[in-house]
Amino acid sequence: MVLNLHFLRHNLLFWCFIAILLMSWGYAKWTWENTIGNEQAEFRHGSSTKLTYDFRDAMGQGLMLAALSGFRGVAANFAWHDVTKAWENQQWSRVKKNIELAVLAQPRVDFFWDFGAWHLAWNASSSALRNGDNPSEFGRNKESKMWIEEGRKLLERGISINPESSELYARMADLHARRLHDFYTAAEFYKKASDLPDSKHFLIRFPGYMYFEAGDTQAEYAYWMEVWPKLSPAEKQSPQWERVKRRIFTLRKELSIEE
């Protein structure tokens, strides 16, 4: 059974109709795709993969093709695999280059930022301090600090793209506490991490520990007193919070605060 539409082939009106149909479809499709694209971009906090010439040169043709064919994850994984290999061989510039590639290909993967910053601020920085090729202690310290700063900058970028990730805020806090010994900033980042819905339940205590490390008993006491009323009765019974309770009593004595 065939619909005989052959007579339409020479009809100008028919082709005008087809053109209008195509334009309407194209406009509707383009608009809809833009709307979905904008929604997704908003969800990704504006991050996107910039597939530039530099990216292609660093990735190689094969992985670039994978990235272009919608298998960006696989391409990023290969770059990340090279980070691990370079780390084992203590090739820190290669580690950094491949971290950049991985985060460029998939900026929304938390652990690329998290482990990447750890490689730079901990591993590369400690390795710089032990670097026998550099006879100057000043030079070694300078290089070590440079790697810590690289790690901090990487985490900062990661947080701006993944502001919903408590893991990254916690890593930033770790970096400030353990590598930069800036306990106040660390406390602020732990607070931000514990405020997020996916945070680990124990993170809420960490700002208090940071004020303790900073030796600021006033801030520590104020923090515990701010957190304590928010806890459930069951939480207050846990050994960790029992210790906090004892600490609050000690702080009251130290600061001569009436109950």
Options 11, 16, 29, 243; binder of other proteins; rule CB under 8 A: 29
- Residue 74 binding other proteins, by CB under 8 A: yes
Rounded distance between C-alpha atoms, residue 143 and residue 157, angstroms:
21
Smallest distance, other proteins to C-beta of residue 100, A: 17
14 near other proteins, rule: CB under 8 A: no
User: Burial of 149 by CB count in 10 Å (0-12 exposed, 13-18 middle, 19+ buried)?
Assistant: middle
Does the footprint of other proteins cover residue 62 (CB under 8 A)?
no
Q: In the set 55, 80, 113, 169, which binds other proteins (CB under 8 A)?
A: 80
Does 19 bind other proteins (CB under 8 A)? Our answer is no
Least separation, in Å, of the C-beta of 54 and other proteins?
15
Residues 94-133 contacting other proteins, CB under 8 A: 106, 108-111, 115
Closest approach, Cβ 177 to other proteins, in A, equals 20
Please report, as ranges, the residues that interact with other proteins according to CB under 8 A: 1-3, 5-6, 22-23, 25-27, 29-30, 32-34, 36-37, 39-40, 43-44, 48, 51, 68-74, 76-77, 80-81, 84, 106, 108-111, 115, 164, 200
